[in-house]
Amino acid sequence: MLSTDRRGRWQVLFFFLCLSALDSVTGQARYSIPEEQSEGSIVGNIGRDLGLEVKRLVSGKARIITKGGARQYVDLNRDKGLLVVKERIDREELCGPTTPCSFSFELIIENPIQLYRVTVEVRDINDNTPSFPKDEIHFKISESAVSGARFSLESAVDPDVGVNSIQNYSLRPKDNFKLEVHSQADGGKYIEMVLQTPLDREEQETLSLMLIATDGGEPQRTGTVRIHITVLDANDNAPVCGQPVYKTDVKESSPKGTLITTVSADDADQGVNGEVTFSIAHVAKEAKELFELDVDTGEIKVVGRLDFEKSRNYQLNVQASDHGGFTDTCKVVIQIIDENDNVPTIQLMSHSNSIPEDSPPGTTVAVINVEDVDSDGNGVVLCYINADIPFKIESSLTDYYTIVTDSTLDRETVSEYNVTITVSDEGTPPLSSNKSITVKVSDVNDNPPKFDQPVYSKSIQENNSPGFSIFSVRASDADWGQNARVSYFLDDKQVNGVTASSVVSVNSENGAIHAVRSFDYEQIKSFQFNVTARDGGSPPLSSVVAVRILVQDQNDNAPQVLYPVQTSSSLVAEMVPRSADVGYLVTKVVAVDVDSGQNAWLSYKLQKATDRALFEVGLQNGEIRTIRQVTDKDAVKQRLTVVVEDNGQPSRSATVNVNVAVADSFPEVLSEFTDFTHDKEYNDNLTFYLVLALAVVSFLFITCLVVIISVKIYRWRQSRVLYHSNLPVIPYYPPRYADTLGTGTLQHVYNYEVCRTTDSRKSDCKFVRPCSQNVLIMDPSSTGTMQRMQSEQNILDEPDSPLEVSLLWQSHCLAV
């Protein structure tokens, strides 16, 4: 039997209701447990009853939420899926006389959000003994009281309900009185003691009775009170109430002091025996705190704050008594009228502080509970949110609403929303309340970096220093945080045959582009490479931009003279016949400048000349022409110094010395060219000594002396060939000549036949094959001309070669 009772006490009432409207509210569960269970006692297996696995409860962070700050009597064991008692539950403390007694809470599971309502009914056990307000009751009853006289008694109080509450009253002894029990409209009971046998004061002046209240629990409990009766002398008329029942209505907002009704009673006696006083014979504690009865006038007034939501009606048992001990009792029924005095409340059951911007429409953001404790229209609640946001509110379970997304979100457009929830009732005037929640839109990496220009182009002067900062590329990312952190990378492709990283570098943090090396316009005029901007999202997004670098020319190259060729061991001489007319083209100075633009524009100027009145230089083309008729008085030896200058800023220049021989035949200028050689040697030696002295005079004086001596010995040995061979150079003019260099400025071809002796002590000579040249190349260490110095050297080094023998018969050339 104990086992059967235990199973009955732990019986679980469960039902499951599927709601197709929303995924966030799934169903309900109901359990029934007895009160006063010890902590840790099992209420029920919520996981099994709701069809939820334990791992779902754990992963979803299942938790219990109570409304309005109510105490939490039940806890959730997620690891086992059990509901257990968290603290001792006293049904009388929780619900008072209300039956059945239950409390509700919500079970919230996240990811996705699911809501279950759980109701636990607390069954009453017989843990309270009936008790009377007083330990003793005293009555004064006249001996003239007739049979049937009634005397109201205060009923006992038992906090238990149902069968465990008070079931019956008994009175002992029963010689003079009997007991009658009456039910009230509010479910309570009041008792009266009815006189059966008249009292005789002369026979028994006092009586002592025992009133016993018994409940119906197991085990049965009882409460007692002692009744002391004093028999008074005759007062044969009892007070009579004006009405057996008084009914009245009062608004719950009535202030203190409001008159509810007035109870009246008449007594036929006169004098002291006819004076009637009023008292509340039996009333609950709550009613005593709300109403006050004037003992003399019978006026009932409000002394506390009425609340329709706590109790809708009250019954007062008013007793009218005279001084002779006669009484009468009437009932006063007070009906409370509801008013719209309660503002609807909003409780946030679950709330997501942030939501990803790629969340689909219909994603749950929050679950709220709204409640209005008023009744009828005053308790009807309307719930809505502000309309300027991409969210909507949907009704799920009774008094529960879910806020979900209504459209797609974009954090880059709006990163945060303030959702204002407003609830109002239908009372007059309507009452409302609101609550605001903030929903942040978390970033998703959905925007690639974007450069502020589609293509970058930048110019840089050549000859820059390595590491020079050219400029910076910049890309912005509309995302936030790590997703918006942009890094820059160089696409290491080929640029003019080399990798881009060997030419430029890109700072990964700020996009600054630096030159890795110095640029030379003459080698590279422009190049292009790509820079990639990549964000820090997962997966990362990137974009590429083309960067074009234009190298600007600087005037860093001096003009280079290509013609006439200047060498340290030979001289270039141009022949001008004495019959040359005005404008005769002597030669053309050919120069180039590897720079570009105006830096490469060359101009030619005659800086120095033996006879300035005889020659001029073309400013643009470098052509040296005669400006007058050549005469016999003009010197054979003419030296011109031409300056070639570019147009850069600052300008650079080069000089070239042009030796001109004014003569009709080669022997005529032979001696003059010898002087040219000596003059050149003199000028060269002088320049050398000056430069050398300036460079090393302070710390290498001794070394300078050694160098000078060595140079002199070298010059002396070279000059021996000159002193031993005084053979002149004889120019030969063929009948037809033209410019072989392809410049188109010289109209002649100079063919020279070179004859020289290998030793002054020998009478034989050697010939070198004629060559097509328009210049005379004079070796300062000899008096002859040659096409190739190397060939001549080989001839001098081999005096007995077959070539020498084969040409002995031509020795008559010396006379010529």
Count CB-CB contacts under 10 A for residue 319.
Answer: 22
Residue 795 DSSP code? H
Q: Taking 50 as the threshold, does the pLDDT of residue 636 lie above it? A: yes
Mean pLDDT across 552-575: 78
The answer to whether 438 touches 420, Cβ cutoff 8 Å, is no
- The pLDDT tens digits of the residues spanning 648-665 come to 888 889 999 888 888 877
pLDDT at residue 573, rounded to an integer? 75
Backbone angles phi, psi at 813, to 5 degrees: -65, -20
**Cα 437-438-443 angle, rounded to 5 deg:** 150
Mean pLDDT across 309-322: 88
Contacting residues for 300 by C-beta, under 8 A, at least 6 apart: 259, 260, 261, 262, 263, 291, 292, 293, 294, 316, 318, 332, 334
Give the Cα separation of 498 and 479 in Å (integer): 36
Task: Categorize the per-residue pLDDT at 210 as very low, low, confident or very high, splitting at 50, 70 and 90.
Answer: very high
pLDDT at residue 807, rounded to an integer? 30
- The pLDDT tens digits of the residues spanning 336-383 come to 888 887 888 898 888 888 899 889 999 999 999 898 887 777 878 889
Give which of 591, 578, 579, 723 is closest to 661, Cα–Cα: 578
Task: Categorize the per-residue pLDDT at 440 as very low, low, confident or very high, splitting at 50, 70 and 90.
Answer: very high
Q: What percent of the chain lies above the pLDDT cut of 90?
A: 26
- For residue 735 the two structure tokens come to 């009948």
pLDDT at residue 268, rounded to an integer? 78
**Cα 456-458-459 angle, rounded to 5 deg:** 160
Lowest mean pLDDT among 143-147, 150-154, 198-202, 803-807: 803-807
Mean pLDDT across 432-458: 91
Count CB-CB contacts under 10 A for residue 551.
Answer: 21
Give the Cα separation of 81 and 459 in Å (integer): 73
pLDDT at residue 682, rounded to an integer? 53
State the average pLDDT for the chain. Answer: 79
Taken as a whole, the chain contains a residue count of 816
Place of tokens 């409304």: 67
pLDDT at residue 675, rounded to an integer? 53
pLDDT at residue 779, rounded to an integer? 40
Backbone angles phi, psi at 481, to 5 degrees: 65, -135
Task: Categorize the per-residue pLDDT at 74 as very low, low, confident or very high, splitting at 50, 70 and 90.
Answer: very high
Task: Categorize the per-residue pLDDT at 225 as very low, low, confident or very high, splitting at 50, 70 and 90.
Answer: very high
The answer to whether 615 touches 583, Cβ cutoff 8 Å, is no
Place of tokens 């005889």: 614
Mean pLDDT across 275-294: 86
Containing 47, the helix (H) or strand (E) segment is helix 46-50
Phi-psi region of 130 (alpha: psi -120 to 50; beta: other; left: phi over 0): beta
pLDDT at residue 680, rounded to an integer? 52
DSSP string, 716-761: HHHHHHHHH--PPP-EE--S----SSS-S-----EEEEEEE-S-TT
pLDDT at residue 625, rounded to an integer? 92
Exposed/middle/buried for 27, CB within 10 Å: 0-12, 13-18, 19+?
Answer: buried
- Of residues 730 and 173, more confidence is placed in 173
The answer to whether 301 touches 292, Cβ cutoff 8 Å, is yes
The answer to whether 560 touches 654, Cβ cutoff 8 Å, is yes
- The pLDDT tens digits of the residues spanning 468-505 come to 999 999 999 988 889 889 999 999 888 888 888 889 99
pLDDT at residue 685, rounded to an integer? 64
Task: Categorize the per-residue pLDDT at 761 as very low, low, confident or very high, splitting at 50, 70 and 90.
Answer: very low
Q: Give whichever of 141-145, 370-374, 430-434 has the largest mean pLDDT.
A: 430-434
pLDDT at residue 439, rounded to an integer? 92
CA-CA-CA-CA torsion for 392, 397, 400, 401, nearest 10 degrees? 0
pLDDT at residue 325, rounded to an integer? 78
pLDDT at residue 774, rounded to an integer? 38
- Of residues 689 and 316, more confidence is placed in 316
